[in-house]
Amino acid sequence: MKSVVLFNGSPRMDGNIATIMGVVARGAQDAGAEVKNYTLFKMKFMACMSSFNCRREKGECPIQDELAEAIERVKKADAVVIGSPIYMMQMSGPVKNLYDRLFPLMDSDGSPRYPGKKFLTVYSQAVDDPQTYETYFDYTAAMFPSFGFNLIGNIVCTNANDPENAERNADLKIRAYALGKALVR
């Protein structure tokens, strides 16, 4: 059975990211995957401490917290989804901390230690134009190959201050469901 790991980086438990991640998860489950959801704002975890332990041979991260188990699951997963609201024109703080903690997934030369994972990003933003942060999304995506993440799509929910906007957007949910399935194919 294929495994998919999802990280929700929004503090709003019933917000737009939660809605979209739920639909993506359903698509992946309907395609036969085992799905594991993590809500970063419910987890106690530290930022990367820059021990560089993971850069020595295949050294492990010395931080043992709630994120450590999730990262082990990511290493073994077939597909990963990371969803974040846009705060101050960037991903939310916990999502940035998650990416930093994924440092052990890449080797010192930038090559992936666990290659071949399908990857999907989900962002929500207040502004109406879905292209507003496109340059940022592309810039951020440059790190994904080093994690072994092959980006298959990016879902952007606009006008997202209203927590129910994604729920009302049928087209967005259809795309989210299809991409959830595509993670498993």
Ligand X SMILES: Cc1cc2nc3c(=O)[nH]c(=O)nc-3n(C[C@H](O)[C@H](O)[C@H](O)COP(=O)(O)O)c2cc1C
Contact set with ligand X (CB under 6 A): 10, 12, 15-17, 85-89, 124-127, 160-161, 163
Helical H segments across 31-148, by residue range? 66-76, 93-101, 134-141, 144-147
Nearest residue to ligand X by CB is 15
Least separation in angstroms between residue 158's CB and ligand X is 8
Closest CB to ligand X among residues 10, 146? 10
- Nearest residue (CB) to ligand X, 74 versus 122: 122
| Nearest alpha carbon to residue 123 among 92, 164, 78 | 92
Closest C-alpha among 113, 176, 122 to residue 145: 113
Cβ 115 to ligand X shortest distance, Å:
30
| Distance of closest approach, residue 185 Cβ to ligand X, in angstroms | 27
Nearer to ligand X, 83 or 180 (CB): 83
Alpha helices in the chain (DSSP H): 16-30, 66-76, 93-101, 134-141, 144-147, 165-168, 170-182
Residue in the block written with tokens 């989804």: 81
Q: Minimum distance between the CB of residue 180 and ligand X, rounded to whole angstroms? A: 17
